[in-house]
């Protein structure tokens, strides 16, 4: 049976030169054919197969076959294990898509390496590692987790790393609150500013000449007191009714009285009669003497009474 040897012996590192040798005792001399798995590589009288710069793709199981006119026989298989440093890692995020505060996240790093790589997670501008292992799990994402991360894959043959940018967005209810604040807050500020300008204007009107900014606090207090007093006074005026009597003399005309006094019916004025003094004149005669005046009837005397009608007021 042919035998197979590998030179140099020991660990095979990517990029190095490696020779496989197949030998067999045969007469006449045998021809050799090399196989990788079931794939034919080389046929010829030479029993050697050379790798000038072996690579990871050359890893696999090899054997040779010796043959002459009297027969053929296969050698035992030999494993060629080519060691190499980690390839550039690939990073995946699960679940994919937008990263929202409060959610859970898995970061996974993978790299082709021989021997297998060890993984370490870092965040930019931080010296201590964030996690060890191929997967980095964040159970409760916050805005502080935003930033640049990278995972490093390392083995005895080398190291490589890959970067990842995480952007954490606020939850929907926070965005709504922020929009409401952005809308309401300017309105509140504008309202306060208008009230301040109005108060300042009123304060200037109440200020006496020569008063400076030092009296602003007192004027503001005065403005508040005056406003409260005016409000109370208006309420009291609405709640209280005052009654009075107006007396006018008859000796002169009052324009106000003429404007507000109800007109008096002229008929009643005409019916009012003022009686003047009644003078009874009798002739001075001697007692026992009869005169014409004494014989007058009392009704005739009454008819002599002068009636004075009060003229209506103009």
| CB contact at 8 A, 62 and 80 | yes
Cα 294 to its chain centre, rounded Å, is 120
Whose tokens are 């954490």? That residue is: 168
Residue 123 CA: distances (Å) to CA of 85, 142, 168, 226, 284: 23, 15, 15, 64, 149
Strand order across the 105-110 sheet: 90-94, 105-110, 135-138
Per-residue pLDDT reduced to its tens digit, 101-154: 999 999 999 999 999 999 999 999 998 999 999 999 999 999 999 999 999 999
Per-residue pLDDT reduced to its tens digit, 41-50: 887 778 899 9
| CB contact at 8 A, 120 and 109 | no
For residues 250-258, average pLDDT: 47
Instruction: Quote the Cα angle for 211-212-215, to 5°.
Output: 80
Q: Which domains, from first to last, does the chain contain?
A: 3-83 (2.60.40.10), 90-169 (2.60.40.10)
- The confidence score (pLDDT) of residue 231 equals 59
200/225 Cα distance (integer angstroms): 15
Indicate yes or no: pTM above 0.85.
Answer: no
- The confidence score (pLDDT) of residue 217 equals 54
Q: What is the largest CA-CA distance in the chain?
A: 221
């Amino acid at each position: 049976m042919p035998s197979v040897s590998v030179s140099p012996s020991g660990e095979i590192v990517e990029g190095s030169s490696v020779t496989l040798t197949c030998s067999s005792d045969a007469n006449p001399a045998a021809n050799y054919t090399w196989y990788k798995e079931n794939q034919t590589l080389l046929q010829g009288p030479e029993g050697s197969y050379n790798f000038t710069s072996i690579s990871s793709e050359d890893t696999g199981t090899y054997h040779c076959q010796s043959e002459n006119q009297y027969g053929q026989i296969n050698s035992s298989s030999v494993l060629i294990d080519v060691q190499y440093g980690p390839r550039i890692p690939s990073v995946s995020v699960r679940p994919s898509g937008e990263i929202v505060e409060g959610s859970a996240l898995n970061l996974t790093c993978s790299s082709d390496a021989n021997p297998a790589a060890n993984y370490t997670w870092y965040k930019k501008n931080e010296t201590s590692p964030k996690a060890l292992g191929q997967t980095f799990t964040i159970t409760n994402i916050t805005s502080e987790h935003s930033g640049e991360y990278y995972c490093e894959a390392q083995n005895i043959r080398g190291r490589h790393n890959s970067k990842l940018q995480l952007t954490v967005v606020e939850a929907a209810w926070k965005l709504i609150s922020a929009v409401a604040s952005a809308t309401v807050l300017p309105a509140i500020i504008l309202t306060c500013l208008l009230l301040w300008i109005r108060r300042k204007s009123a304060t200037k009107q109440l200020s006496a000449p020569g008063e400076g900014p030092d009296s602003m606090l007192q004027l503001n207090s005065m403005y508040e007191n005056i406003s409260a007093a005016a409000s109370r006074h208006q309420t009291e005026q609405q709640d209280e009714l005052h009654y009075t009597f107006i007396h006018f003399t008859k000796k002169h005309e009052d324009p106000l009285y003429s404007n507000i006094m109800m007109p008096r019916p002229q008929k009643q004025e005409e019916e009012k009669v003022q009686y003047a003094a009644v003078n009874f004149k009798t002739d001075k005669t001697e007692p026992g003497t009869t005169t014409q005046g004494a014989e007058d009837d009392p009704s005739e005397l009454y008819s002599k009474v002068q009636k004075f009608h009060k003229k209506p007021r103009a």
